[in-house]
Amino acid sequence: MHGEAAGNEAAVTTEDATEGTMARRGPVGGDFAAGVLRILPLLVAVVVYGLLFGTLAAQKGLTPLEVALMSATVFAGASQFVAVEIWTSPPAILLLGATALMVNLRHVLMGAALAPFLQGWSRGQIYGGLFFMADENWAFALQRAAKAPLSPAYYLGLALPLYFGWIACTTLGTIFGGFVQDPARYGLDFAFTAVFLTLLAGLWKGRRSAYPWLASAAVAVAAYLTLPGVWYIALGGLAGALVGACQGPPQASASAREGGHAD
């Protein structure tokens, strides 16, 4: 038994072996626990910008119950921030809905990128996974899928702490929002940006990664400066996806092919 285990561990990297061991017999056990442990460090930043969102929502006159319901049913930080910025009393439902749709159009591209790794999932698991899909757990799910099969249990381990943490923190931010009148004064407004920069670093795969990112950034900035509303989010995501599609799959270098390894 020990010889067989040693042979299996020699076939994977040290990181994969550690993650696999945690998934099989970690302190809690299973893929779900591995997903929870993966997402936990990121929850520190989620706490900060969840509280920030709640503070901004309270300044617009939303109650803790309204914010809790919004976070539970929408569960999309970017579109919720934009919605609060244009919030009126009474709310302009059509404007809010159209704005949220434009901001979340990137989820179409995100779902398409994730779809090849959902083989074997039931229809209910796929639909549930799409509801819980956010930028953070999507990025971590892709990282996992590059090394090992992406199981529904691992995905839920990523998604559920993020989901319930977001509801709790946005609600608490609304309750105690009056204590922080100017979040930008303390640098709290940068927490949202910091999370996405961290996710980008984790998705870096060499020079090829830079071209879609640069195209996305250039188009987003141009759209932000020239178009009204939040079209820059959808257009930037679309530009990055098109450049990535034009690149095609990565090609193995000559030396890598000779050694039997992909670039």
Distance CA 121, CA 102 (A): 28
Does the CA dihedral 40-83-231-113 come out positive or negative? positive
Residue with tokens 């390894």: 261
Which pLDDT tens digit goes with each residue over 15-28? 444 444 443 434 33
pTM over 0.85: no
Are 262 and 256 within 8 A, CB to CB?
Answer: yes
- 159-205: pLDDT as tens digits: 999 999 999 999 999 998 656 656 666 565 565 566 566 556 555 56
